[in-house]
């Protein structure tokens, strides 16, 4: 069943993502438009941020409307928390066109990564809490084992975070937990950057 809030996100962003398709990694796993996803609060801002449209009328419309962005925040105000622009050479119409032709699997995984990355940053900086759930890294690790679309360096590191190594990294406390949390945050950022390169090159995730 379509999330009724989807139409609110559509109106707030003036339907800018009407021709974009994502596969939901967080939710039912369906292929759909971001507005029709189970969680438009993840996929609508996720597509905008992935394309580097944080400063845009669409994101401003979301913030002004008070609709949820990712994990419940109503705006993206911390510049250190905003993902770096991966497509500085593209103007806004070209960024939208890139979203429209990007593999839905890439967009879906990137949106999942962005929401978990924001949650992890919020816990570290605002709540001074360390430790991570690893859902995004696990999703990327599963894809590596099936299709291996990432660079050899990232593939090796993702495999290192799976299995017994995953449990070893999530269990410690104190300084080692802080170190592992920061490493997880860095790894999430690198996965998203590689997804951006795949989108620009017209590659598919699997």
Q: What is the pLDDT of residues 67-116, one digit of tens each?
A: 888 866 656 655 666 888 999 999 999 999 999 999 999 999 999 999 88
pLDDT at 27 over 70: no
pLDDT at 33 over 90: yes
CB atoms under 10 Å from CB of 24, counted, come to: 21
Query: Which pLDDT score is estimated for 199?
Result: 97
Query: Which pLDDT score is estimated for 184?
Result: 81
Give the Cα separation of 143 and 136 in Å (integer): 11
pLDDT at 129 over 60: yes
Instruction: With cut-offs at 50, 70 and 90, classify the pLDDT of residue 34.
Output: very high
pLDDT at 174 over 90: no
User: What do you get for the CA distance between the two ends of the chain, in Å?
Assistant: 27
C-alpha pair distances (Å), 93 with each of 56, 99, 196, 205: 11, 10, 17, 24
Query: Which pLDDT score is estimated for 7?
Result: 94
The string of pLDDT tens digits covering residues 137-170 is: 878 888 888 778 899 999 888 888 776 555 555 5
Give the Cα separation of 24 and 13 in Å (integer): 20
Query: Which pLDDT score is estimated for 178?
Result: 65
Q: Which helix (H) or strand (E) holds 2?
A: none
99: its two tokens? 């979203």
Exposure b/e, 181-202, CB count within 10 A at least 16 = b: beebbebbebbbebbbebbeee
């Amino acid at each position: 069943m379509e999330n009724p809030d989807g139409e609110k996100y559509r109106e707030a962003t003036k339907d800018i993502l009407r021709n974009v398709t994502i596969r939901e990694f967080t939710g039912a796993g369906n292929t759909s438009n971001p507005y029709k996803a189970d969680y438009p609060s993840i996929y609508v801002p996720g597509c905008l941020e992935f394309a580097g449209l944080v400063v845009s009328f669409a994101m401003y419309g979301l913030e002004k409307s008070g609709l949820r962005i990712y994990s419940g925040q109503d705006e993206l105000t911390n510049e250190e928390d905003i993902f770096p622009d991966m497509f500085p050479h593209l103007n806004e119409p070209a960024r939208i066109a890139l979203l429209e032709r990007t593999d839905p699997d890439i967009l879906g995984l990137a949106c999942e990564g962005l929401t978990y990355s924001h949650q992890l940053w919020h816990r570290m900086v605002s709540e001074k809490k360390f430790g991570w759930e690893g859902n995004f890294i696990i999703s990327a690790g599963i894809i590596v084992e099936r299709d291996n679309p990432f660079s050899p360096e990232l593939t090796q590191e993702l495999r290192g975070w799976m299995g017994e190594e995953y449990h070893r990294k999530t269990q410690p406390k104190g300084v080692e937990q802080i170190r592992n949390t920061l490493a997880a945050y860095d790894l999430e950022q690198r996965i998203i950057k590689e997804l951006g390169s795949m989108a620009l090159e017209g590659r598919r995730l699997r």
